Structure 1
Amino acid sequence: MAQTLKDDVKESIVANAVTVFARDGYEGATVAAIARSAGISTGNVYRYFDSKETLFEAAISPSFVDGFLALLRAQLRSARGHVDLDTLPPDASYRIAAEELLRFAIEDRLRLIVLLGRSQGSRHEAVAETVVQELVEQAVAHFRELRPGLRLSAPVRLMVEQAYRSLVATVVLVLATFDDEHRIRAAVTAYSRFHLSGLKALFEGIETGPRNRKNS
């Protein structure tokens, strides 16, 4: 007689998988560790998922990734053309989009930790760098609207990329360090102000107009 798979057991396996992936990363996590976390046998996990990869895909689903990227892109679009984001009123589209993204991160922080910081070796390992590059392109477009003729040298672009890699890594660190909303919000707000002020100073130091030297 075939054994019946139970939805609550499957959901428990997935929930515990998210916890283990957030703690150990995709490469470091094992099905045995996930089984221990769920309080069941390794063999029982394999009744529901035939591999660690399929379990990872259930834990960090394409719909989760798409939802996160949609919120991020909405925030990026809403930031365009504003000289100083800190001065925007609470009902500004940027503020609303930023709050939606932060709420998403707080409510599903473990999955976001995995997606942006612990997914090496998985199908989603490139997402963090994709986020970095989209943030860079948005920043460049934003400052070019404010300063027509702005040109980025290779060294400056590298610094902008590093600034955004640091931003993504810091978000992962904050979500991994704190599990309460108040501390997450405080940390994200503090670092965002630091990041934006540094980015503004970096772009304001760039000359505008045609390049005069090769490899500039």
Structure 2
Amino acid sequence: MYSSLLMVQVPKDHVREAFVEAAGAAFAELGYPGTSMAVVARRAGSSIGNLYKYFPSKDALFQAVVPPELVAELERLTRARMRALGAATDVRELDASARYHTLAGELLDYCFERRAAVVIVLSRAEGTPYASFAESFVQKLVRWALDYADAAYPHLAAAVDLRWVLQKVYSGFISSLADALRRYPDEPQARAAIALLTAHHQGGLKHLFQTAGDSPHEREPSHTETPSVPDPAPSPRAGSARPSAAGAGATGSRARQPDRGGRTRRRR
């Protein structure tokens, strides 16, 4: 995969970049503990002695692959994209020039430009300073999603069980995103897979937000909110929902039962 590196033939910067590229691929595939300097040198088509001329340790090599500013920028772009939704409930109704679409494109481009590093911090960070990043990122995504839901679904109550479900949803999405980036070397294929994954994810979120207010919840304790909880807004008819900022999905209607007079009444 990597051409042989000869110091007399390849400029120094190119040699260094080849080592960084080989290390990124190895860290993303094998993890930090499973990657040795010898593995990186072999993948780069060079010698371990030559590798040590550029990087005195595996830790120094890792920092070149995953610079400290990467995770901060990943979080910033993600947060900006979610904020750009505002209270929109159907992403198809946003103008093509809407800031949301611009930021979504920037975020995806950033992930592809730094594909190996993103895979590492999201799914292969064991043994590194970013070992807890994915879990922390999920918690932030949950908080940002609830901020969005406050505006887009005002009937929604931030219940303990809803937060737990969102944690599971975002944990699965982050893991699947990293897997798609790792599984498909061809960028168009990877983008297509991520588009399908995102559509599925957003559809599930919309259905969740639209129906969460219809079920009894144990309200999450808060020191600032008032004890009373607004009555949830009635849910739309089944099949009436459209793909939205939160995703595409149909909402369910409550079951109806005949009363004693034979008329149909709604189950509470």
Please state which band the TM-score falls in when normalised by the shorter chain. 0.7 to 0.9
Matching residue's letter, 1:175: L
| Max Rg structure | 2
- Unaligned residue ranges in structure 1 (runs of 5+): none
Residue aligning to 1:63: 69
> How far apart, CA to CA, are the structure 2 residues paired with 1:206 and 1:8?
54
Residue aligning to 1:51: 57
**Alignment partner of 1:151 is 2:166:** no
Percent pairwise identity: 34
> How far apart, CA to CA, are the structure 2 residues paired with 1:67 and 1:212?
35
Matching residue's letter, 1:203: F
Moved more, 127-136 or 149-158: 149-158
Count of residue pairs the alignment pairs up:
210
SS at 1:45 equivalent: helix
Offset at 1:32? 1.1
Give the conservation status (yes or no) of the 8 Å contact 2:81–2:103: yes
When normalised by structure 1's length, the TM-score is 0.87
Matching residue's letter, 1:198: G
Task: Map 1:1-216; keep pairs closer than 5 Å.
Answer: 6-148=12-154, 150-207=156-213
Moved more, 77-86 or 92-101: 77-86
Cα RMSD of the aligned pairs, angstroms, is 2.4
> How far apart, CA to CA, are the structure 2 residues paired with 1:108 and 1:213?
40
Q: Which is bigger in relative contact order (C-alpha 8 A, separation at least 6)?
A: 1
Moved more, 52-61 or 179-188: 179-188
Matching residue's letter, 2:119: I
Offset at 1:106? 2.3
The superposition leaves residues 20-49 of structure 1 with CA deviations (integer Å, 9 ceiling, x where unpaired) of 111111121111101111122223322322
SS at 1:79 equivalent: coil
Offset at 1:169? 0.8
Give the conservation status (yes or no) of the 8 Å contact 2:156–2:212: yes
* Alignment CA distance shift 1:47-1:80 (3 Å): same
* Alignment CA distance shift 1:41-1:92 (3 Å): same
> How far apart, CA to CA, are the structure 1 residues paired with 2:175 and 2:148?
22
Residue aligning to 2:263: none
Offset at 1:212? 7.5
Give the conservation status (yes or no) of the 8 Å contact 1:152–1:206: no
More helix by share: 1
SS at 1:26 equivalent: coil
Q: Runs ≥4 in structure 1, deviation > 4 angstroms?
A: 210-215
Offset at 1:194? 1.2
Offset at 1:153? 2.7
Offset at 1:211? 7.3
